[in-house]
Structure 1
Amino acid sequence: MAAKDDLGRRGEALAGEYLAAKGLTILDRNWRCSQGELDIVARDGRDLVFVEVKTRAGTGFGHPFAAITATKLARLRRLAAAWCEAHPLMHGHVRIDAVAVTGAGRTPTIEHLERIF
Structure 2
Amino acid sequence: MNQRGALGRYGEEVAARRLREQGMTVLERNWRCRAGEIDIVARDRGPRTTLVVCEVKTRRAGGPQHPMAAVSPRKAQRLRRLAEQWLSECWLPVHGGPPPGGLRIDLVGVLLPHRGAPLVEHARGVA
- Which category describes the TM-score, using the shorter chain as reference length? over 0.9
TM-score, normalised to structure 1's length?
A: 0.94
Gaps of 5+ in 1: none
Q: Shift of the alpha carbon at 1:57? A: 1.1
Q: Could you tell me how far apart the structure 2 residues matched to 1:100 and 1:59 are?
A: 14
Q: Deviations over 1:18-38 (max 9, x none)?
A: 000110000000000110000
Mean CA deviation greater in 96-105 or 38-47 = 96-105
Q: Could you tell me how far apart the structure 2 residues matched to 1:86 and 1:40 are?
A: 15
Equivalence map 1:7-46=2 (5 Å): 7-45=7-45, 46=49
Gaps of 5+ in 2: none
Q: Deviations over 1:74-111 (max 9, x none)?
A: 00000001101102134311000000000077410000
Residue 95 of structure 1 aligns with which residue?
104
> Which of 50, 55, 68 does residue 52 from structure 1 map onto?
55
Q: Against the structure 1 CA distance between its residues 41 and 74, is the aligned structure 2 distance closer, same or farther, given a 3 Å change threshold?
A: same
Equivalence map 1:72-111=2 (5 Å): 72-87=75-90, 88=92, 89-90=94-95, 91-92=98-99, 93-103=102-112, 106-111=116-121
TM-score, normalised to structure 2's length?
A: 0.87
* AA aligned opposite 1:20: R
Percent sequence identity over matched residues?
Answer: 44
Q: Where does structure 1 differ by over 6 angstroms across 4 or more consecutive aligned residues?
A: none
Q: Against the structure 1 CA distance between its residues 96 and 42, is the aligned structure 2 distance closer, same or farther, given a 3 Å change threshold?
A: same
Task: Report if aligned partners of 1:29, 1:40 keep a CA contact under 8 Å in 2.
Answer: yes
Indicate the SS of the match to 1:116. coil
Equivalent pairs, count: 117
For the aligned residues, what is the CA RMSD? 1.5
Q: Could you tell me how far apart the structure 2 residues matched to 1:50 and 1:98 are?
A: 8
